[in-house]
Structure 1
Amino acid sequence: MKKTHLKLQQLALLLAISITLFNCNDKLEENDGQVGTADLDYTVSEDMILPLVGAYSTTYTRGWEDPLLVGVRGDDVNAGGLGDQPLFAETDLFNYDNGFWMYNQVWKNFYGDIVDVLNAGEVIAQYKQFATGQYVDLADQYIAETKVLSGFQHLQMSKLWGDIFIITNSDPRADLENGVATKMQIMQYVSDLMDEAIPYLPDMRPNERQDIPGGVTKYTALAVKALANLEMENYQGVAEATEQIISSDKFSLHPDYYQLFKKPGKLSDENLFELQFSDYNTESGDVNNHLFAPFGPTSWTPVVSTASGGWGFYEPSLKFIKFMLDRNDETRLVTSVCFTPRGIDEIMEDPNYATLPSYISNTTPSGDIFNDYPRAMFASGKHYLPSIQLTPERNSYGSSKNLIVIRYAEILLMYAEALTQGASGTIMTADQAVNTVRSRVDMAPLTGVTLDDVMDEKFAELAMEWGVRYFDMIRLDRYDELSYEGRTFTAEDELLPYPQAQVDLLPLE
């Protein structure tokens, strides 16, 4: 027992990253102005927003490894080869080494953020004790927002590892002593947490918020609830949550699919949750960017000659590209994939694709040229920012680009999926939901939509985004889809192993 308590104390130190508080100004992600809780005067209610801004900042500042690890195992994505991360490439082949640093780092990233976010909620609760009037309601709203941020991160962790710890406060020792919860318990916890939060959240789109533009709202919480219920295969729950979003009439698809993933798509009416970054449109000084270099090419000829390239760690699969060519899904293919000459040649080696449509080119619609490079034949267009959209003198790959997490197209397709799985809904049919998504990219409407049709549409619409394809396939036991390009996938490959560093430290079984 003494040894167990020692491990718990060590973990508490590992997880308890101190809450970061920020001056409330226009720069949501800015790292200046940190203050400790000892410096706070809880009677100054207008400062209540500070810990909330800190919670958003810690959520936005994801490690570069997080989205890569979440998404790399799907048949839409390959890990770049010939790099300095061979165990990342092995993960893509379903060969897991629990000593791989990335597993442990992503584990720590998510749990560290959960503790930070919960700490923020506890600080806001301290302010609430002294609040009066409108500030009481604001405190409830802010605490609800931290619940959504915490729930989202629990959701992502459980999708990766299955059974994990539920952390409910910033001192996790009691939670750890309870042991890990099952994946289904995690998903129910997240769903219930969203139900707790929803009554206190703003009834608006994230981009309508004036206090924290792009901050979570009632509809973000409903989206997270729908995702949790999808993992539980509670399709009626999915239908009910997504129907509330659709029936609000507050969301619409961004008119230009290509630009949705570029600067014009930031804080779009389509986005329910996005990680926000900025270089503040200034040539120098403060900058808060996600590191998009892992997604970029190691060799390119950008229109803006000073624009930096990337590392080549994340490659759209040949399977996905051929799937899109078969559909003649031009807009989404050109948006999702940046081609190299070597990649184009590789496609054409298949006699069925010896002649390619004219829109297949290693020059993007924005004029940047992707050259051959050894690590990959293609790059993710959804993580590419045209060099002409870079702020002058800000040359890092994707500088100031946001990272979209949940968008309205996914809501529509989850609703359609739920209906094809037997759920009932009244706001629209599965055909209407799917065709709303298809019409944006000039795809012909479908009739009599089936589950297979919905899965194909999700593949086309959501490829390279947060592992949606992978988690769909394992939920539906479609292992044959993941056994592609020489891979063999089995049920034992669904979850990552616990990081060895955590097994050594924690009461994991």
Structure 2
Amino acid sequence: MNLYKTSFRYLFALMVIGFLGSCSDLLNEPAENRAFTDETDYTQTENMILPLIGAYGEFYTRGWEGIPLISVRGDDVNAGGLGDQQDFAEADNYNYNKDYWMFNSLWEVNFRDIFHMESTIEQIELYEQHAPNTATAEQYKAEARVLQAFLLFQMSRVWGDMFIPPSPDPSDLLVTPISSKAEVMTYISQQMDAVADALPAVNPNKRSDIPGGVTKFTALAIKALANLELENYQAVADATSQIINSGEFALEPDFYELFKLKGKLNDEILLELQYSDFGQPSGDSKNYLMAFFGPQNWTPKREGASGGWGFFEPSMKFIKFMLDRGERVRLETSVLFTDRGIAEIKSDPAYTNLPDWISNVTPSGDRINDYARALFASGKHYLPSEQLTTGRTAYGSNKNMICIRYAEILLMHAEALTRGATSSAMSADEAVNLVRARAGMPALSGVSSQEVMDEKFAELAMEWGIRYYDMVRLENYSELSYGGRTFTADKIFLPYPQNQVDQLPALQSR
């Protein structure tokens, strides 16, 4: 695995805190196999984009375990059972094992890349000294800072109090004090303010140099997310208003196709992890391992397509919530049903008469068969077998992973307004109804905060733990106490991985 390190000192520092150790065989190589050394000729400023390309390669190279661990807690999703990842299922039940390898891997992979972004900025600054115009360098550094902010944001939501890296040297964590979650979110917001104007003010899909690369509006979206955690609703409204007023974004008309190939570089996307098999039946391929989310047993429309592992299941609570609302478009997209799952729904006398469209055959013609690990699978992480590149068989191959989309911006905007913020960009009713119209739901008038939260539940379930973190922020712990679980405030954050506690003094007193 090539990691764009600047010197032996930097590589050694990474080894000190173990970033090169666990699960390295499960991580794809970066998008560009270019290493930077002390012999790099920084006067060749036309190469200044190379460390940035490496930064994107690292950002897209997520461990398969990271996103599920970030996302699995909450009443929208369950961990699939009957597998070799019992502590993953226990985390979903709010029983945390600080020695569990997934906890440590998420920490290591994210911090590896957080420090890589610092190194990227350092490399760009070396080129910048020789550049006749520094605007490009400032943009590239800003992009690395935005990627870093997204990773740090996720780390703080998962663990709460967190390190703010002071330099490109990971060994500095040995002496760095830990910052409170509020301090981390404030830092992220300030960083996004500092870099936003250096970035292109366009939809990411309009960038020709790095298609889908971050823009000013990605930075504003991360600022809004950080301020939502801080409950600074006016700052949320201000940031989302700029995104709305830009006119650069629109909802994909077909909610189902948003999570398929049509969703790649879509007008709705502000940030996504990009993957590709380059349209070739074999050879090089850069993918996220979607198998974790997929059904263990299916009959694909395209013969030979592989199934998944069955470790990620939409909750029965979510499904019944959607049925009660009369949802079809979003429920049919979000959930892959098995016959066993349908029978389990019908076992509740209130749901014996289900709509005819609820079936174990997807709209794309793939049949989801019964399997022991779960009753349902996630439709948002499903790519129809007919959309696989000919010759490719891996589950979800060539599918991007959406990180931030315009629907979330609209709903954050609406929530902020219902909690006292002001904006002339769009009313809360207008924002919510745009999202509802796409889902074929009737318009609302005078939307309340609770109605916005219900809309977020329906729209954003199974995406990056959004539902869980919303309920935590609002201290709505009763929603998280479901299906035999009991949630209390002491369960909000995962414990720091024991391997990190053993090495980092600031964690040892926490």
3-state SS of paired residue (1:241): helix
3-state SS of paired residue (1:37): coil
* AA partner of residue 41 (structure 2): D
Distance between the aligned counterparts of 2:136 and 2:18, measured in 1? 28
Q: Determine the structure 2 residue equivalent to 1:188.
A: 186
Q: Determine the structure 1 residue equivalent to 2:144.
A: 146
Deviation, 1:37, is 2.1
Gaps of 5+ in 2: 1-11, 22-27
Query: For residues 11 and 280 of structure 1, do their structure 2 counterparts lie closer, same or farther at Cα, with a shift above 3 Å needed?
Result: closer
* AA partner of residue 415 (structure 1): H
Distance between the aligned counterparts of 2:260 and 2:208, measured in 1? 22
Please tell me whether residue 370 in structure 1 is matched to residue 373 in structure 2: no
CA deviations on 1:202-254 (whole Å, 9 max, x unpaired) are 01000000000000000000000000000000001100000000011110000
- Residue pair 1:16, 1:116 contacting (<8 A) in 2 also: no
Please tell me whether residue 36 in structure 1 is matched to residue 36 in structure 2: yes
3-state SS of paired residue (1:247): helix
Distance between the aligned counterparts of 2:251 and 2:29, measured in 1? 26
Distance between the aligned counterparts of 1:176 and 1:236, measured in 2? 37
Distance between the aligned counterparts of 1:137 and 1:485, measured in 2? 54
Q: What does 1:272-291 correspond to in 2, within 5 Å?
A: 272-291=270-289
Distance between the aligned counterparts of 2:87 and 2:500, measured in 1? 18
Distance between the aligned counterparts of 1:444 and 1:263, measured in 2? 28
Deviation, 1:174, is 3.7
Distance between the aligned counterparts of 1:33 and 1:271, measured in 2? 27
Deviation, 1:441, is 1.3
How many residues of Structure 1 are paired with residues of Structure 2 in the alignment?
490
Deviation, 1:172, is 3.3
Q: Determine the structure 2 residue equivalent to 1:237.
A: 235
Please tell me whether residue 496 in structure 1 is matched to residue 494 in structure 2: yes
3-state SS of paired residue (2:270): strand
Q: Determine the structure 1 residue equivalent to 2:50.
A: 50
Q: Determine the structure 2 residue equivalent to 1:353.
A: 351
Deviation, 1:176, is 4.3
3-state SS of paired residue (2:213): coil
Distance between the aligned counterparts of 1:343 and 1:288, measured in 2? 33
Deviation, 1:11, is 6.4
Query: For residues 40 and 144 of structure 1, do their structure 2 counterparts lie closer, same or farther at Cα, with a shift above 3 Å needed?
Result: same
Q: What does 1:86-485 correspond to in 2, within 5 Å?
A: 86-133=86-133, 136-174=134-172, 176-485=174-483
Query: For residues 307 and 195 of structure 1, do their structure 2 counterparts lie closer, same or farther at Cα, with a shift above 3 Å needed?
Result: same
* AA partner of residue 130 (structure 1): H
3-state SS of paired residue (2:250): coil
Query: For residues 16 and 106 of structure 1, do their structure 2 counterparts lie closer, same or farther at Cα, with a shift above 3 Å needed?
Result: closer
CA deviations on 1:37-69 (whole Å, 9 max, x unpaired) are 234210111110000000011011101111100
Distance between the aligned counterparts of 2:408 and 2:242, measured in 1? 14
Q: Determine the structure 2 residue equivalent to 1:14.
A: 17
Distance between the aligned counterparts of 2:307 and 2:101, measured in 1? 24
* AA partner of residue 503 (structure 2): L
Deviation, 1:122, is 0.7
Q: Determine the structure 2 residue equivalent to 1:24.
A: none
- Residue pair 1:30, 1:286 contacting (<8 A) in 2 also: no
Distance between the aligned counterparts of 2:32 and 2:49, measured in 1? 16
Gaps of 5+ in 1: 1-8, 19-27
- Residue pair 2:202, 2:217 contacting (<8 A) in 1 also: yes
Q: Determine the structure 2 residue equivalent to 1:6.
A: none
3-state SS of paired residue (1:237): helix
Distance between the aligned counterparts of 2:161 and 2:152, measured in 1? 11
* AA partner of residue 93 (structure 1): N
Q: Determine the structure 1 residue equivalent to 2:24.
A: none
Query: For residues 41 and 199 of structure 1, do their structure 2 counterparts lie closer, same or farther at Cα, with a shift above 3 Å needed?
Result: same
* AA partner of residue 98 (structure 1): K
* AA partner of residue 498 (structure 1): Y
Q: Determine the structure 2 residue equivalent to 1:23.
A: none
Query: For residues 199 and 16 of structure 1, do their structure 2 counterparts lie closer, same or farther at Cα, with a shift above 3 Å needed?
Result: farther
Query: For residues 15 and 115 of structure 1, do their structure 2 counterparts lie closer, same or farther at Cα, with a shift above 3 Å needed?
Result: farther
Distance between the aligned counterparts of 1:33 and 1:183, measured in 2? 35
Identity over aligned pairs, percent: 58
3-state SS of paired residue (1:505): coil
CA deviations on 1:247-278 (whole Å, 9 max, x unpaired) are 11110000110000000110000000000000
Q: Determine the structure 1 residue equivalent to 2:82.
A: 82
- Residue pair 2:13, 2:171 contacting (<8 A) in 1 also: no
Distance between the aligned counterparts of 2:20 and 2:192, measured in 1? 24
Deviation, 1:196, is 1.0
3-state SS of paired residue (1:274): strand
- Residue pair 1:261, 1:382 contacting (<8 A) in 2 also: yes
Q: Determine the structure 2 residue equivalent to 1:25.
A: none
Distance between the aligned counterparts of 2:32 and 2:331, measured in 1? 40
- Residue pair 1:72, 1:78 contacting (<8 A) in 2 also: yes
Distance between the aligned counterparts of 1:238 and 1:314, measured in 2? 31
Distance between the aligned counterparts of 1:122 and 1:130, measured in 2? 14
Deviation, 1:284, is 1.0
CA deviations on 1:420-442 (whole Å, 9 max, x unpaired) are 11111111111111001001111
CA deviations on 1:367-386 (whole Å, 9 max, x unpaired) are 00000000000000000000
